Every structure is written in structure tokens, then in C-alpha cells.
Structure 1
Amino acid sequence: MEKHPNGLSIRNVSKRYANGVQALQNVTLNIPPGMYGLLGPNGAGKSTLMRTIATLQVPDEGQIFLGDIDVVRQKEAVRETLGYLPQEFGVYPKASAEELLDYFAVLKGITNRAQRRETTEALLRQTNLWEKRKQKLGGFSGGMKQRFGVAVALLGNPGLLIVDEPTAGLDPTERVRFLNLLSELGENSVVILSTHIVEDVSELCTNMAIINQGQILLEAEPLEAVASLKGRIWRKLTDKHALPALEQQHQVVSAKLLSGRTMVHVYSLEAPGNGFELVEPDLEDVYFSAMAGCFGKAIEQQQAEAVGI
């Protein structure tokens, strides 16, 4: 089996829960070192895949390798190099950030007191929590708790860091601060950012995949994916009542309210007419095009053009 050097190789992974829900279906991904975005709506299978990679559950089928480590069979080896920030995590509200991080450092095997003090200070400074180190965690804001979660996840300098829906519920200022922190982490390790927020991926990730209903719809570099839609996304400002007719006539990829009216984006190889104008595509167009099933058409058309068909 081909493995991604120092990266994560996922091959044909499937998972069905006892209630019959097929959470993952034949998922195959190559995740190199750096920031990797896993983008999809709530319930798409993102958290199931993250928990599987984090050795918290076993797939029904398939293989996962982190470098030479078999993730399914060598769980302890994975956990030694894993940092995991789940979607929801608890803290002891009466403990200070410094106390609890020191406690987690002991659990991580950092038993030398001087080394532990040096490590916790470095991580609290890196996550911009040093000035708040004596404050009780129960008084932390949502963004501060998320940054503390990253500090815990970074203990032991992990080679694989998983962050699951980290910016959901954060206010805009805290979100920017948190994304700036994540952007510094993807230099020497595999960092997987699981999110339903397109902007998180567009601002951070050099590689990405889009998942829905347990299946990978697209795996690409964000900039290349956007470039492949150039000349194919058209927009028109219309009234909400006109949307059903437009959906009959065109491949609508998105429709959202704008100043009380509806901005419609459609996928088309040529000018749709009827008041549509060409628009520069962005990652949101990539996401909605993949969800609508027309991204494959763009790739096929490009390949056909490349060979002169």
C-alpha cells in the first residue's frame, strides 16, 4: 500500500453505526504535512473520520497509516504523537489554566518539574494565555477555552494534530485570533482542520477535501479548485419567488439573501443570458458546486479541452 511520506494515508475506510447510519463510505485521502481542511455540512461524517483517525473508534473496513504507523493496529504509537481537540471538551472550572495544563503535562509523561514548567509557559505564551494563566477556567470565554484546548493538544509536540469544528460559536474577534494560532502550527506536522465554515479552510489550508453523507466529493488544493471554476460561475440578483424557475432552467449552486433580495450563483459553461453576469469564483463556489454535483463536470470539461476534444 502506498503511504504518504510523514503524512497520513487513508484507504477505503467505511463505518456504519449500530443504528444503520453509514457514517463513512469508502473514504480515501492522502493528507501531507501542513494544514489540511476537511470541509462539509453538519452530519457529513467529519467527526466520525476524526475520531477514527484519533483511535477513538475502529473502522469497519479500510486502512489508515501515519507514516509507517498502522493507526488501526498500533493505537498506542499513534497516541504518543497525537494532539486532539474535539468538538466539545470539558475543563475543570475551578482550576486555573496553569494548574490544569501542568496536570495534563504530567499525564503526557513530562515528569521533570523544570521541563514541565518550561513547556507549560511556552504553550500558554504561544496560545496568548500567559497573562490569564492564574484565572479560573470557568471564567474563560469560548475563544479562550478553545485556545487552552490547543495548548493541551500541543503537549508533547505532536506529529498529528486534529481540531474538530474549532471556530463554531466563536465571535469574529476570537475566531481571527484562533485562526492565527492554527496557522502557525502546520509547519512540521499534519494538522487536520474539520469544519463546516468555508472561510476557515480558505484562510488556512493548502490542501482540502469536501465530504458529504460519508463520501469524499472532492480532494484538491483550494487555489487550484477555485481556478478550475473560472469562467463557469455566473450570478444574478433576483427575487425569492423567481428562484424555483431559475432552478428549473439552470444548475444553481447557491442562493443567499442580499439586502432583502436573493443572490443566485449558477454553474454554466457559457453565458446563461437573462441578466446573469460572470463572477470570479471563490472557495464557497467550489464547496457548493461540489455539493451540487457539478464540480466533476468542470474537471471533465477541462480534461476534454486539454486533449482537444
Structure 2
Amino acid sequence: MEKYPSGLTIRNVSKRYANGVQALHDVSLDIPPGMYGLLGPNGAGKSTLMRTLATLQEPDTGQLRLGHLDVVHQKEAVRQTLGYLPQEFGVYPKASAEELLDYFAVLKGITDRATRKAATEALLRQTNLWDKRKQQLGGYSGGMKQRFGVAVALLGTPRLLIVDEPTAGLDPAERVRFLNLLSEVGETGVVILSTHLVADVAELCTRMAIIDRGRILLEARPLEAVAALHGRIWRRLTDKPALPALAQQHRIISAKRLSGRTLVHVYSEALPGPGFEPVEPDLEDVYFSALTGCLGAARQQPKAAVGL
């Protein structure tokens, strides 16, 4: 019996492109129903994994299963229960949301007019676009277009919804509305949120994985990953010219400007030295600790501090 009968199972998936780039290295994950965050920097392999799960490309090796379905060998069956919102998608600017959603519903196989009308109305209401259903999509804001993309992705009530970098470019109010919508969808199926924004995962996801250079560095529950760093994160204000010397002596995981100086966060099992003070970790500390090799199965040599 599968560990997550209605979830997603990924085993030993690798992908190398024709230009020689190894986009995925032996990726294995168990993704249960609910909101799942895939967190990593640009170029980490997130979009490659999402496109593979969405049946848009095949892995070189490995297996992917959605419940009892084989994602590689049963593409059409998977597509019947899949919703996919890519990082960038186009719309016909002169079409209204109601018209275009009805068109996509036909493509999805909803051919009965009454059923299609009921489905499109329900989705436009769910995405808070009903009052703007007659407006041309070319006049929609970025957030409204993203919510329309979710409406398209939800046609047919998919068991798996994949959203790739969905909040990039949204203003704070639109971002909150969009994330609340995804959270509602996550109550009834598997939703994979692929992003480089730590805050999106911290606010929504019950489980997450951190990926970089095609490898899974950490897979955990966000709150448990943060708790595991308790007593291991230290901070210190310093001047920028002193950073190279600090980086030689300590495992700096992040550095950012603060009031004209630089605030560094250091990973250490004990007090790193004078001038440091303990800080309660957050998911950003988990993220940078994983990227710099302090955490996770794929431990690496320490890299240069992030954000210098």
C-alpha cells in the first residue's frame, strides 16, 4: 500500500537537458494531500520538476505516481485530474473571463452546456472574479490574471494542482487574496506551490522541500525545521569591510543591510564569539542554512554568505 494513497510519490527522478545541464539529480519525495511548498532559488530545478509532474516532459530516469496513476506512462489519465498554473501564461486580451473560461472548459472535455455554465460560474465566484466576468482580460491586474489562471487550472476538479512562482509581481493585497484562494483549494487535494519566496511557504504549507542545483537539500514540516534550529542561529551587526574575515571564521548563512551596517546570521552549535547574540530562527534561516550546507541530506562545503 502506498504511504499516501491519494498523494504524489516521486522516486529517483533525474533530468539532463540537451545542453548538458543536469536539472534534477535523483529527486525523491512523498507529497501528501494539502499545501506542499517547493522552495529554492531561481534555476534550482523547480520548474523542471513541475513541468515533469505536469506531463509536459519526461524524466531521464525515475518514477512518478499520482495515487495509482503512473505520471510518465498514463499521461492522458493524469491530465484529466491535473491543474497547472505555469509561471507565465498567456490570455486573449480581448476575450472576457467568462468567454475564455468557457472555451477552456470545452477543451477540458466539459461539453454539456448547462454543466459548463455551472462550472464556470462557480469558479469565477470562487476566484472572486464574478463581478468582472464581462471585462476583457487585457484590462485585468496582475493578481486578477493569476486568479483567472487558477480558475482555468481548477476546471474538472483536479486532484493535483501545480502552481509555479504564483505570487511574483503581485502587490501585497493581491498576494494575500491569491494565497487564501490556494489555501482553500489545498483542503481537497494536493497543491504544490513552487516558489523562491520563503514567506509564501511559511504562511501556507504543512510540508515543504528545499531544492538547489537539482538536489533536494531538506524535506520537513516548516515548524519542525524551524524548531530544529533553536539555539543554533546567532546574529551580529558589522561593517561591510569586516565581512570577508567573518566569513573565514564563521558559517555565515545570510547577510543584509540594516541602518547603514550589515546584519549577519551565523549557524553555530555554540556562541560563535564576542559580539554575537542568539536569535529565534525562522523559516528564512532554515532556507539559508540548507542552501549553505548546514542542513539537509545533501551537505555541501560552506558557500559564500547569501546576500552580501
Q: Structure 2 length as normaliser, TM-score?
A: 0.95
C-alpha distance in structure 1 between counterparts of 2:120 and 2:184, whole Å:
18
C-alpha distance in structure 2 between counterparts of 1:258 and 1:121, whole Å:
48
Q: Is the 8 A contact 1:87 1:166 kept in 2?
A: yes
| Alpha-carbon displacement from aligned partner over 1:157-216 (angstroms, at most 9, x marks no partner) | 000000000011111121111111111111121100000000000000000000000000
> Partner residue of 1:21?
21
Q: Is the 8 A contact 1:3 1:67 kept in 2?
A: no
C-alpha distance in structure 1 between counterparts of 2:108 and 2:3, whole Å:
28
> Partner residue of 1:217?
217
Report the alpha carbon displacement of residue 3 of structure 1 after superposing the two structures with TM.
Answer: 5.1
> Partner residue of 2:271?
271
- The residue identity in structure 2 corresponding to 1:93 is P
Report the alpha carbon displacement of residue 259 of structure 1 after superposing the two structures with TM.
Answer: 2.1
Structure 1 unaligned regions, length at least 5: 300-309
C-alpha distance in structure 1 between counterparts of 2:23 and 2:5, whole Å:
28
Residue 75 in 1 paired to residue 78 in 2?
no
Aligned to 1:29, what secondary structure does the other structure show?
A: strand
Aligned pairs (5 A) from 1:97-136: 97-136=97-136
C-alpha distance in structure 1 between counterparts of 2:2 and 2:260, whole Å:
52
Structure 2 unaligned regions, length at least 5: 300-308
> Partner residue of 1:12?
12
> Partner residue of 1:241?
241
Aligned to 2:134, what secondary structure does the other structure show?
A: coil
Residue 148 in 1 paired to residue 148 in 2?
yes
Q: Structure 1 length as normaliser, TM-score?
A: 0.94
Identity rate of aligned residues, in percent?
A: 81
- The residue identity in structure 2 corresponding to 1:127 is T
- The residue identity in structure 2 corresponding to 1:92 is Y
Aligned pairs (5 A) from 1:1-309: 2=2, 4-296=4-296
Aligned to 1:295, what secondary structure does the other structure show?
A: coil
- The residue identity in structure 2 corresponding to 1:55 is T
| Alpha-carbon displacement from aligned partner over 1:19-62 (angstroms, at most 9, x marks no partner) | 00000000000000000000000000000000000000000000
C-alpha distance in structure 2 between counterparts of 1:77 and 1:182, whole Å:
24
Structure 1 runs, 4 residues or longer, greater than 6 Å off: none
- The residue identity in structure 2 corresponding to 1:75 is K
- The residue identity in structure 2 corresponding to 1:175 is R
C-alpha distance in structure 2 between counterparts of 1:107 and 1:172, whole Å:
33
Q: How many residues align?
A: 298
C-alpha distance in structure 1 between counterparts of 2:125 and 2:2, whole Å:
39
C-alpha distance in structure 1 between counterparts of 2:214 and 2:59, whole Å:
13
Report the alpha carbon displacement of residue 107 of structure 1 after superposing the two structures with TM.
Answer: 1.1
- The residue identity in structure 2 corresponding to 1:206 is T
Report the alpha carbon displacement of residue 4 of structure 1 after superposing the two structures with TM.
Answer: 2.6
Q: Is the 8 A contact 1:143 1:178 kept in 2?
A: yes
C-alpha distance in structure 2 between counterparts of 1:3 and 1:79, whole Å:
22
Aligned to 2:199, what secondary structure does the other structure show?
A: helix
Report the alpha carbon displacement of residue 296 of structure 1 after superposing the two structures with TM.
Answer: 4.2
C-alpha distance in structure 2 between counterparts of 1:48 and 1:255, whole Å:
29
- The residue identity in structure 2 corresponding to 1:139 is G
C-alpha distance in structure 1 between counterparts of 2:106 and 2:29, whole Å:
34
C-alpha distance in structure 1 between counterparts of 2:62 and 2:296, whole Å:
25
Q: Is the 8 A contact 1:39 1:196 kept in 2?
A: yes
C-alpha distance in structure 2 between counterparts of 1:260 and 1:182, whole Å:
38
